[in-house]
Chain A
Amino acid sequence: MLAPASRAGSEVLAMGRRRVMIIGLDCAEPSLAFDRFAGAMPNLRRLRKRGIWGPLRSTIPPITVPAWTCMVSGSDPGELGIYGFRNRKGYGTYEMDFATSKSVRVPRLWDILGDAGRTSTVLFVPQTYPAPASLRGSMVTCFLTPGPESEWARPPELKATLEAAFGPYIVDVPDFRTDDKRRLLQSIYAMSRQHFAMARHMLAREDWDFFMMVDMGTDRLHHGFWKYFNPDHPQYVPGNPLEDAGREYYAYLDRELGTLLEYADADTAVLVVSDHGARTMRGGICVNEWLLQHGYLALRTVPDAPTPFAKLEIDWSRTKAWGEGGYYARVFLNVQGRDPQGMIPPDQVDTECRALQAMLEAIPDEHGKPIGTVAHRPADIYPVVRGTPPDLIVLFGNLAWRSVGSVGRGRIHTFENDTGPDDANHAWDGILVAAGPGIPALGRLEGAEVRDVARTVLQLLDVPAPATMGGRSLLDRLADIAADPAVDGRRDSPP
């Protein structure tokens, strides 16, 4: 068993080799971690003073899958061919398939490091189920693991070891959509406590060059409790009994962070990151309801109650476009010769797509006011477009509104999502804090992107990045800033 780095006698310490530890906090929001709740996060503040910190720009779309995979591969969603949790199986079918670990066709950090003879410990990182047999090191798979009975550990015998120490694996928060907020909060803590305890267990016993874990509790807290602790939410009530839930959870996270940092010796670079941030959700735009009302979607029977898209009786022969719900919308055109029952002639696709793009961007709020929606065509935002991309990626109200896929409300705007209340949507910027050997104490850094993390880790570990890897190492960016502070970034220290 290896001792925490702050204690004496570690074999790893004696070797003095460079290591990298990434602590991921899914959805951690910069305005909370760096401002409102900074006072409750002394460990994070100390780390910020020792290195760099600032916003970490997410991917388009800013969502857990594919953002974390972009972070650990340096790819963008277009290169991955992964545009969300579910993707079209192909243009030959309207069916969707889940994006799992096997969907990732580019090497991730642990693949590259393994080929270079380095060992990784990877815990709860989204899109790691099933775990690769080729992994050099150890892994506990993510919340896309079906359940505690699944094969969620690599090597396989690790599962029994962790179960014996920590009980059945809590894959995610059960029964997330509930009005019993106290129970939900307890469930979030129970999951996070188990995951951090497993992380300490692994840090103490594994001989790693690269350690990475992702806590999903922050995301679950934001979606379930945002309105209780954010005064800009329309349903915020001052003095409500859960007003401190956010601050207390961030303070809890900081205590967990402190215990992990004990395993980071002087040769360990530490990154605390999130894949995207969070913001108040104003409501939902029922994208398929809108498509139905505007003649793009044809149904054999129009339901009179909210009905999931998968259960609708779609008349594909008269359908020009359809959409997926979620924190953003993916809209597909139904094209002759491409889709099974395509309707739009190929020579009219561009015209139809541009017209639909303009109409979606013009959808106002419930009072008729503009909301600033942006609809992207994948080829306009990704240099390479792989897989079966949507024809439009729609971000309603710059993420103040979510996409609702069900049909049957009879109106475009809703203030509940398909499965119940949701307080928050994702925001463009996550957090970045980095400190340790090789990282100068330059304070606040602007302009870092999720895709920059993979190259940064490889440079810290002195492992060559594949020529095809995207992003830019933050160390190169920092070298530019050190030479000329006006280049990109400011030297502010945390208050």
Chain B
Amino acid sequence: MTGYVVWLTGDRARMDALAEALRIGLAGTADSVDVLTAELVEDKLCANEPRGADFRDVVVRRLGWIGHLLARNGCALVAVSASPRRQVRDDVRAQVGNFVEVLVHGTMPDGYETPHYPEVEAAAGESPASVVAKVRRALLDNGYVGAGGSVYSAEEEARIKDRLEKLGYL
């Protein structure tokens, strides 16, 4: 079975409830579905790291690395981290591959860098169930739990192809 990482970024205060809903709602889509927070990584894996300017980035990268290992072995990880830096998140995305970024709107951390193309956006006040449904759709569309992978649905892709053929582009 294919593994993947669902990465929650943005408003940290909303994430625990969302992560628990995702853990339950995504059960069966991978060999296992677990939740791991940046705080736990900081406590267990970074306790002896110097608290320098890039300490937060180190924590985020280690969380991503664990996700990479799990996904590579067919498991799913719901990663909980405000992770304000876009470049660090993009590095983790590149490392993991099967990566669904969920932008959790709300109170953002200082200096937060909004992702260019998050697969899912959890609007302020949006129910966890609704977010789970969006994540399931994103996993499906990207081929992490089934066929697909385009920004278009099959019906949309057919429409675009027909349009471009008629316009002479194809």
The chain A residues found within 8 Å of chain B, CB to CB, are 63-65, 84-86, 97-98, 100-102, 111, 129-130, 132-134, 143-144, 146-147, 150, 172, 175-177, 220, 223, 308, 324-327, 402, 405, 417-420, 422
Most chain A beta-carbon neighbours within 10 Å: one of B160, B169, B170: B170
A133 touches B118 (CB 8 A): yes
B124 on interface, CB distance cutoff 8 Å: no
With A98-B157, A146-B156, A324-B170 given, is the CB distance from A419 to B165 under 8 Å?
yes
Inside 8 A of A130's CB, which chain B residues have their CB?
117, 151
Q: How far is the CB of B167 from chain A (nearest CB, A)?
A: 5
B116 touches A132 (CB 8 A): yes
CB-based closest 10 A-B pairs: A146-B156, A134-B114, A176-B166, A134-B116, A132-B116, A177-B166, A85-B169, A100-B151, A422-B168, A419-B166
| A129: nearest chain-B partner, CB-CB | B151
Inside 8 A of B149's CB, which chain A residues have their CB?
97
B159 contact from A86, A147, A223, Cβ within 8 A: A147
How far apart sit A223 and B136, CA to CA, in the bound complex (Å)? 42
The chain B residues found within 8 Å of chain A, CB to CB, are 86, 103, 113-118, 121, 149-153, 156-157, 159-161, 163-170
| A324: nearest chain-B partner, CB-CB | B170
Inside 8 A of A177's CB, which chain B residues have their CB?
166
With A133-B117, A176-B166 given, is the CB distance from A144 to B103 under 8 Å?
no
Q: How far is the CB of A24 from chain B (nearest CB, A)?
A: 17
Inside 8 A of B160's CB, which chain A residues have their CB?
98, 144, 146
| B123: nearest chain-A partner, CB-CB | A156
How far apart sit A134 and B10, CA to CA, in the bound complex (Å)? 13
With A144-B160, A172-B163 given, is the CB distance from A327 to B168 under 8 Å?
yes
Q: How far is the CB of B84 from chain A (nearest CB, A)?
A: 13
Q: How far is the CB of A171 from chain B (nearest CB, A)?
A: 8
* Besides the known contacts A98-B160, A134-B116, A327-B168, 16 further A-B residue pairs in the complex with CB atoms under 8 A apart: A84-B169, A97-B150, A98-B151, A98-B157, A101-B117, A130-B117, A146-B152, A146-B160, A172-B167, A220-B167, A326-B168, A405-B170, A419-B165, A419-B166, A419-B168, A420-B166
Most chain B beta-carbon neighbours within 10 Å: one of A65, A84, A129, A419: A419
B151 touches A102 (CB 8 A): yes
Q: How far is the CB of B76 from chain A (nearest CB, A)?
A: 23
Q: How far is the CB of A143 from chain B (nearest CB, A)?
A: 8
Q: How far is the CB of A100 from chain B (nearest CB, A)?
A: 5
A325 touches B166 (CB 8 A): no
B167 contact from A84, A132, A223, Cβ within 8 A: A223
Q: How far is the CB of B71 from chain A (nearest CB, A)?
A: 19
With A111-B116, A146-B156, A146-B159 given, is the CB distance from A327 to B165 under 8 Å?
no
How far apart sit A308 and B149, CA to CA, in the bound complex (Å)? 23
Inside 8 A of A86's CB, which chain B residues have their CB?
164, 170
**Interchain residue pairs with CB less than 8 A apart (21):** A65-B169, A85-B164, A86-B170, A98-B157, A101-B151, A130-B117, A132-B116, A133-B114, A133-B115, A133-B117, A134-B114, A144-B160, A146-B152, A150-B156, A172-B167, A176-B167, A223-B167, A308-B165, A405-B170, A417-B168, A419-B168
Inside 8 A of A150's CB, which chain B residues have their CB?
156
Most chain A beta-carbon neighbours within 10 Å: one of B114, B152, B157, B168: B168
How far apart sit A98 and B160, CA to CA, in the bound complex (Å)? 9
Q: How far is the CB of B116 from chain A (nearest CB, A)?
A: 5
With A98-B150, A133-B121, A419-B165 given, is the CB distance from A85 to B170 under 8 Å?
yes
| B121: nearest chain-A partner, CB-CB | A133
Inside 8 A of B114's CB, which chain A residues have their CB?
133-134
How far apart sit A84 and B168, CA to CA, in the bound complex (Å)? 12
How far apart sit A418 and B152, CA to CA, in the bound complex (Å)? 24
Q: How far is the CB of A97 from chain B (nearest CB, A)?
A: 6
A133 touches B170 (CB 8 A): no
